[in-house]
Amino acid sequence: MKLITKFLICCLVFSAFAGSGYAKEAESDSLVRFVHASPDAPHIDIYANDELILEAFSYSDVSEYFRVPAGTHTIEFHSEETDTTVILEEITVEENTHYTLAAIGELEEITLTSMVDDKDTREDMTKIRLAHFSTDASALELATPIGNELFQEVIYSQITDYMELDKGIHHFELHLAGSDDAVVDLYDLELKEGSVYTAIAIGLVEGDPEFEVILLTDSMPMPDNIPKTGLGGASPLQ
C-alpha cells in the first residue's frame, strides 16, 4: 500500500502569542509552533497563558511559528466538541530556541510532545529528521530506493536526530520495519540548501485517517529583502 504524501511549508509566517503580554515581545528570537497529530481528537482551541491563540485547530493542521518570550508558559488544548481540556501543560522556552509542539496519541491517551527545531546547516547542505506519530504503525525505516537507510527502527513517539545531506533532489521510501514494501514514497523531494526539515508520520496504517507523511520546514535561509523580524514579518494573532 503506497499512500500520498502531504507537503507543508510551515515557516513562512510568524505571529506573536496573543494578548497584551505577548504582542510587545514580537522581537523575541524564540519560536513555537503546533501540530495536531491525534487521529481521533476533535477540533481543538489552543490557549497560551489563558489567551486563545488558535481556534478550531483540526487533525493534521500545522500552525505558523509564534514568537514568544523565554520563560515558562501554560499551554491548554481545549476540545470544542466536549468543552473539556484534553491537554494542560507548562512548557519552558529557552532564549533563541525554536520548538514544535505536537499533540499525539489517541484522545484517551493524548500527550504533548516537544521537539527542538534545528536552524543551522553547513554550506551546500540540508538536514532532515523523522518523527513517528502513527499510533498503530510498527517501527519505521526511511531509506533510498536502493536500500541505503537514513533512519532505522524508529518506534512510535520517537523523534530521530537530524541527518545532514547534500542539497538537491532526493528519493526516499518509508517502510514498516522488516518489510520491503513502501507505505509512503517520497520521490523527487527537493531539499534546499540551508533548509532544515522534519518528516512527521501520522494517521493509521489500518483505518482512518489514512497514514501519511507531513514534511515541515523547520528553518530556511532568510532572503536579504525580508524584514529581520521574521520570514514575512511578525504580527499579533487576531
Domains of the chain by residue range: 6-221
Asked whether residue 237 carries a pLDDT value surpassing 80, the answer given is no
Instruction: Give the pairing of strands 111-117 and 98-104.
Output: antiparallel
pLDDT value, residue 16: 57
Across the beta sheet with 168-176, the strand order is 149-154, 140-143, 168-176, 182-191
Amino acid at 236: P
**What is the chain's mean pLDDT, rounded?**
85
What percent of the chain is modeled with pLDDT above 90? 76
**Range of lowest pLDDT (12-16, 106-110, 137-141):** 12-16
Q: Mean pLDDT across the stretch 165-191?
A: 94
Asked whether residue 230 carries a pLDDT value surpassing 80, the answer given is no
pLDDT value, residue 17: 56
* Residue 129 vs residue 147, higher pLDDT: 129
Residue located via cell numbers 501519511: 212
Q: In degrees, to the nearest 5, what angle opens at C-alpha 159 toward C-alphas 88 and 130? A: 125
* Residues whose CB falls within 8 Å of the CB of residue 97, separated by 6 or more in sequence, listed in order: 30, 31, 116
* Residue 81 vs residue 24, higher pLDDT: 81
Amino acid at 166: D
Asked whether residue 1 carries a pLDDT value surpassing 90, the answer given is no
Asked whether residue 13 carries a pLDDT value surpassing 60, the answer given is no
Asked whether residue 231 carries a pLDDT value surpassing 60, the answer given is no
pLDDT value, residue 4: 39
CB 62 within 8 A of CB 35: yes
Asked whether residue 235 carries a pLDDT value surpassing 80, the answer given is no
Rg (CA), the chain: 18
Asked whether residue 161 carries a pLDDT value surpassing 70, the answer given is yes
Q: Mean pLDDT across the stretch 125-137?
A: 97
